[in-house]
Chains A and B, each alone.
Chain A
Amino acid sequence: MLHFDNSMNDNIHDSTQETSPVFRTLGLTKIYEMGEVKVHALRGIDSELYAGELVVLLGASGSGKSTYMNILGGLDRPSSGEVYYGDQDLTHATESELTEYRRQHVGFVFQFYNLIPSLTAIENISIVTEISENPMHPQEALELVGLADRMDHFPSELSGGEQQRVAIARAIAKKPTVLLCDEPTGALDSETGCLVLSAIEQINKELNTTTAVITHNISIGNMADRVIHLADGQISNVEENPDKIHAKDITW
C-alpha cells in the first residue's frame, strides 16, 4: 500500500543531504495583544531546518509550538525577528507572495483537522490538488492513508482518526516541499497513529520533503532526525537522533 509508482518517482529530485537550511529563523518573537494583556508566544527563536530532515517539536501546552509552525508555514508573521525559506524572506513577503508560497511549497496538517464539512473526503483533497502544480491523484493520497474506500464520505461520517488521516492525505497530495504537521496523532490510537506517521515518514523519505511534526508524545521523537524542545516560547534543547527508528516500530 505504501509505495509510489514509477511515474511519481521521476518527479522526485535527488535526495542527497544538502547542507544549506530550508528554514532559517533569527530572533523570532511573537506577541499577541489581548486588550491590555500581552501574551509572549515566542521569545526569540534562532533555528534552522534542513532539506529532507524530519524534525519533531516537543513542548508543554502553550509553549509556542503551533505559533512557531504557523510562522514557518506563512500563516502568520512574527512580531519581530526574521524567517527565511531558502533565500525567500517570509517576514517581509507580501500577502500574495505568502499565498503563492503556501500554494506551491507547504503541506499543512492541522491540530483540529479543519476538513471542509460540506465536501467529501476525496473532494477535501481535490480542492487542494486543483490549485497545485504537480500533485498526486487525490485517490492515491487517500490510499496512502488507507482510506480509499471512504472517499465519498463526508467528514461528519468519519471518526476523528479518519478525519485526521484525510487531513494528512490532503497535506501530502500536493507533494509539498515542506510538510508541517500539528499534532497529527493527537486524536488517534497507537495503531492508526503508526499508520499516519508512516505516511508522513514515506513522504519525507521518498519526496525528500522537509517535515516538522508537533507532538506531545515523546516516543514519536524516536523517528526524527532531530527533536527540538520548546519551553515558554524559547528553544530549550535540540537533540540529534542518529539512530532513528521507523514509524511502524514506535509504540506508545
Chain B
Amino acid sequence: MQRTLHGEPVKTINRKLFRDLQGTWGQALAIIMVIAAGTSTFIMSITTYDALVNTRDAYYRDYRFEDVFASLNRAPESLLEVIQSIDGVDKVESRVIASAKLTVEDFSEPILGQVVSIPDIGEPSVNRLYLLQGRFPDSVRDDEVILNEVFANAHQLVPGDSLEMIIKGRLETLRVVGIALSPEYIYQVAPGAIMPDFKRFGVMWMSRDAVGKAFDMDNAFNNIALTLQSGINAKDVIVELDLILEPYGGRDAQEREWQISHRIFKSDIDQLEQMAGMFSSIFLGVAAFLLNIVVSRLINTQREIIAALKAFGYSNFDIGLHYLGYVGIIVTIGLMTGLAAGIWLGQALSGLYMEFYRLPYMEFELRLSILTIAVLITFIAASVGTLFAVNRAVKLPPAQAMQPEPPAKFRKSMFEKLALFQSLPQMSRMIIRHLSRKPVKASLSIAGIALACAILVVGTFFRDALEFLIDIEFGLAQREDMTVVFTEPSSRNAYYNLMNMDGVLYGEIFRSVPVRLVNSHKTYLTSINGFQQEQDLHRQLNTQHQAIKIPEQGILLTDYLGEILGVNVGDEIELEILEGRRPVEKLRVAGLVNQYFGIGAYMNINSLNRMMREDDLISGVYLKIDSDYEQQIYDELKDMTRVANYESNRHIVQAFNDTSAEMVYIFVGFIFSLAVIITFGVVYNTARIALSERSRDLASLRVLGFTRGEISFILLGELVVLTLIAIPVGMLIGRILSWYMIQEIPKEIFRLPLIIEYSTYAISATVVIIASILSGLVVRNRLDHLDLISVLKTRE
C-alpha cells in the first residue's frame, strides 16, 4: 500500500466525506439551493447587464445615435454648414420634429403623434432607423410614414394600413409604408410623461419634404442631432453650438446623457447591476453563514473522530482539507447549478428586456471573467464561512478532543432575573435559555431570515411608492380630467369656447413658456407655467400635500429644481425666457413645490404675461368634464384647429397601472422564490442543528413522559421566536435597501418617496412565516420519528 503525500487523494477518507454528505444531505441541499440562487441571480443580472450594455453600445454605434442634440425655433437649412464646421463634429442631421393629433381606426381616444423628419433621399446620417418591415417613404409622395414599432404594434398597424393626422384643422390621411426602430426612441415616452403609453403616443418618421410642407418648415429645421469625432469633449462643441443657435431660438444643446430615452434605459440597466450586487451579496452572506453553522456542527459531532485521525498520524492539513472537501463539494454543486441556471435565466431575462425595449438584436455573451468572479466570490464566501470552524477543529489537541465535550454550560442571563421569566412555564424557559446561550448564532439566524424578509420588501415596494406618487400627483395635485394645449398662445376667447362645449364643467387657464433658469453658473432649461392665484384643479402642493397659492410676486420652483440651482426661498434667480421677445428678468423664489415627478417653475399668469410684454394670453386649459360627454369632447377637440393636443389624466393613470403591473408581475415570482429559498435554508438548517444538538435531551424528555407535541414545542418554539424577531428586523433592512434602490433612479424624472404600504410588509411577513412553517414541519416529521433507543445509546 502506498504512502500518501499531502493533498493526494486518500480513498477511505474520501469515502467518509461522501458518507458525511449523505448523512447531512437535507442540510447540504438547502445550502446548495442558497448558493445556486445567489450565483444564478448574480450571473443572470450581470450577463443581462452585459448583454444590454453591449447591445446598446453596438446599436448606438451602428445606428449613429446622437452625441449632442438641440432644439430651436426655426433656422434656415444653410446654417447646417456652419454647424458642420464646428471642431470635432462628425455627422450632423438637421430635422423637423413636430407634434400632431392622430386618429387610428377603432380607437376613439386622443393620440399624440410626434413626427420626425428623415431626409428625402437616403438614410439619416444621425439616428438611423432600423427598418423592420416595409420601406422608406417615397420622396415624391408626401403621405407616407414609417411608424415606431411599439406604436404600430399597439394598434396592430402594418405597412399598407393608414391613419389620420390633423394639422391646423386639416385632416391628412397617411399611409404606413414601414415599421422601424430607432436608438433615439428605445424608450418611447411622450414629452413630460413618466410612463410610456404606446397606444396614446407614437413616434413616426416622414420625409423632410412632406414634414416641411405640413408644418410650414420648408428649407428650415427646428432640431439638430450630431455625432462627435472620437475623443472630442461634448462640452466644447455645445458651447459653440449654443452660440450658433442662439439667434434662432436655440434651447441649450445637450449631451446624450440627458436624452430621455437613453437616460431611462440607462437607469434601468444600472438598477439591474445594483440588484445583482445586492441580491448576490445577501445570498452569499447567508450561504457563508449556513456553511459555517453546518460545518461547525459537523466538526463538533466529529471532534473525537478528528482526534482519532490525528492519533493515527493524519496531519492538521489532511484533516483541514477533508472538511474543506465537504464544503467544496457543496459549494461546487451549488455553483454549477447556479451557473447553469444563471446562464439560462440570463438569456431569458435578456430576451424579456429585448422585448420590452424592442431592441433590434441582442449581443448575448458570457464573459469568462464574470464566471471567474462568480466562482471566486462564492468560494471566498464559503471559505470565510468555514475556515474558522475547520481551523478550530484541527487546532484542538487530540488528547483533549478525545474527551467528550463537557456538558453545555448554562448561566442565568439578565433576562431570567425578570419576574416575567419566572412566571413562564418550564418549556418556554428552556427555549429562551437555549437562544440566549448562543447569542451570536441566534443573531445570525435572525439576520438570515430577516434578509429573506428584506428581499421581499425591496422586490415589491416599487409598486407602493409609484401608487403613492400617482395618488398624490393625480389625486391631489393635477386634479383636472383633461389638459388641452393650444397650437400657439391664444386669447381668452379660446378658453370661453372650450367652456361653452357640452359636458365641460369647469376650466382653469395656464400659460407656458420655455425658460432658462440661471443662478450664477448653474442653469436649468424648463418652462414656466403661469396660473391664476387660486387653482382648484391643477394645484401646487407643499410638503404636507396642501395646496399652495400662486403668489402675486415671485416664482415657485419644484423642490428638486431648487436643489439643482442651489437656491432657497427668498433667493433671487435669473430667468431667460426663450420665446417671444426673450426677456431676461430677475425674480425672487417665493416658495418650493413638493413634486414627485417632473420639474417646473410656476408664477402668476398675469405677472408672466406682463414679463413677456404680451397681452392676456393662454397656452391651454385644464378641464373638469362630465364623464358622459368624454367621447363627444374628444371628437370636438380633434377637429379644433387651435387645439394642438389634449390628454386625459385617466389614461395616464391607466397606462401607468398597466406598465407597472407588468413590471411587478414578472419580478414578483422570482423574488418570492428567492425569499423562500433563503428562509428555508436558514430555518431548516437551524432546526436540524438544534435537533442534532439536542436529540438526546429531547429523547430523554420523551422517555420521561413528554409528548411529541411538547418536545416539538421546545425545539420549534425556538424557530418561532427567531422568525418573529427576524420579521421586524427584515422590514427595517428592507426599508433601508429600498431607500438605497431609489437613489439610483434619475431624480429629474422621478423622485420616488420611500413609501412602503402595510400590505407589502404583511405579504413579506406572510411569505417568511409560511416558508418557516414548512421547514418546521419537515423537522417536526423527523422529531416524531426520533428513535429513543439509538439516541440514548450513542455517546456524545
Contact = CB atoms under 8 A, between A and B. Distances in A.
A16 to B, nearest CB: 28
B308 A102 contact: no
Secondary structure of the B contact surface, majority rule: helix
A75 B315 contact: no
A119 interface: yes
Given A103-B312, A131-B313, A114 B15 contact: no
A114 B312 CA distance: 11
Contacts of B311: 73, 75, 102, 106, 108, 110
A75 B12 contact: no
Nearest to B406: A34
B304 A112 contact: yes
Interface stretch (B89-97, B186-194, B396-404, B677-685): B396-404
Contacts of A77: 397
A2 interface: no
Nearest to B314: A131
A102 B10 contact: no
| A: interface residue count bin | 35 or more
A117 B19 CA distance: 10
Interface in A77-105: 77, 95-96, 99-104
B1 A135 contact: yes
A12 interface: no
Given A131-B314, A132-B313, A75 B304 contact: no
A46 interface: no
Interface stretch (A55-63, A120-128, A218-226, A243-251): A120-128
A129 B400 CA distance: 24
B310 interface: yes
B569 interface: no
A116 interface: yes
A99 B315 contact: yes
B316 interface: yes
A50 to B, nearest CB: 23
Contacts of B3: 131-133
Nearest to B307: A114
A128 B305 CA distance: 13
Contacts of B11: 126, 130
B20 interface: yes
B795 A112 contact: yes
B493 interface: no
Determine which residue in B10, B20, B312, B318 has the highest number of CB atoms from chain A within 10 A of its CB, and name it.
Answer: B312
Contact of A110 (B4, B308, B313): B308
B367 interface: no
A130 B4 contact: yes
B728 to A, nearest CB: 39
A157 to B, nearest CB: 11
Nearest to A125: B12
Interface in B296-353: 304-305, 307-316, 318
B312 A108 contact: yes
Given A67-B399, A76-B397, A114-B305, A130 B10 contact: yes
A17 interface: no
A64 to B, nearest CB: 12
Interface string B1-37: 1011000001111011001100100000000000000
Contact of B4 (A70, A112, A131): A131
A123 B15 contact: yes
Interface string B376-410: 00000000000000000000011110100000000
B312 A123 contact: no
Nearest to A129: B1
A118 interface: yes
A101 B398 CA distance: 14
A75 B312 contact: no
Nearest to B318: A131
A103 B318 CA distance: 12
Determine which residue in A95, A130, A131 has the highest number of CB atoms from chain B within 10 A of its CB, and name it.
Answer: A131
Contacts of B20: 118
A129 B1 CA distance: 7
Given A70-B399, A75-B399, A116-B305, A128 B15 contact: no
A99 B305 contact: no
Interface in A36-81: 67, 70-71, 73, 75-77
Nearest to A174: B312
Contacts of A99: 310, 313-316
Contacts of A126: 11-12
Contacts of A114: 304-305, 307-308, 402
A75 B310 contact: yes
Contacts of B402: 70, 75, 110, 112, 114
Interface string A213-249: 0000000000000000000000000000000000000
Contacts of A130: 1, 4, 10-13
A114 B191 CA distance: 78
A115 B19 CA distance: 14
Contacts of A70: 398-399, 402
A116 B314 contact: no
A135 B402 CA distance: 25
Contacts of B12: 119, 123, 126-127, 130
A133 B2 CA distance: 7
A45 to B, nearest CB: 16
B671 to A, nearest CB: 39
Nearest to B793: A156
A156 B793 CA distance: 10
A103 B1 contact: no
B64 to A, nearest CB: 67
A102 B399 contact: no
Contacts of B310: 75, 99, 102
Contacts of A106: 311, 313
Given A102-B310, A131-B4, A119 B15 contact: yes
Contact of B398 (A75, A100, A129, A131): A75
A242 to B, nearest CB: 33
A129 B4 CA distance: 10
B10 A131 contact: yes
Contacts of B318: 131
A70 B400 CA distance: 10
A152 B46 CA distance: 50
Determine which residue in B4, B313, B400 has the highest number of CB atoms from chain A within 10 A of its CB, and name it.
Answer: B313
Nearest to B18: A118
A100 B313 contact: yes
Contact of A127 (B13, B23, B398): B13
A129 B3 CA distance: 9
A218 B709 CA distance: 51
A119 B1 contact: no
A62 to B, nearest CB: 13
Nearest to B17: A118
Nearest to A113: B308
Interface in B459-495: none
A101 B315 CA distance: 11
Contact of B312 (A71, A112, A128, A156): A128
Contacts of B1: 129-130, 132, 135
Contacts of B315: 96, 99
A53 B402 CA distance: 27
Nearest to A160: B793
27 contacts: A70-B399, A75-B311, A76-B397, A99-B316, A101-B313, A102-B313, A103-B313, A104-B313, A108-B308, A108-B312, A110-B308, A110-B311, A112-B304, A114-B304, A114-B402, A116-B305, A116-B308, A119-B15, A119-B19, A123-B15, A123-B16, A127-B13, A127-B312, A130-B1, A131-B314, A132-B1, A133-B3
Given A77-B397, A96-B315, A127-B12, 12 more contacts: A70-B398, A75-B307, A99-B316, A102-B310, A116-B309, A118-B19, A118-B23, A119-B15, A123-B15, A127-B10, A128-B312, A132-B3
Closest 6 CB pairs of A and B: A103-B313, A76-B399, A118-B19, A127-B12, A114-B308, A70-B399
Interface of B: 1, 3-4, 10-13, 15-16, 19-20, 23, 304-305, 307-316, 318, 397-400, 402, 790, 795
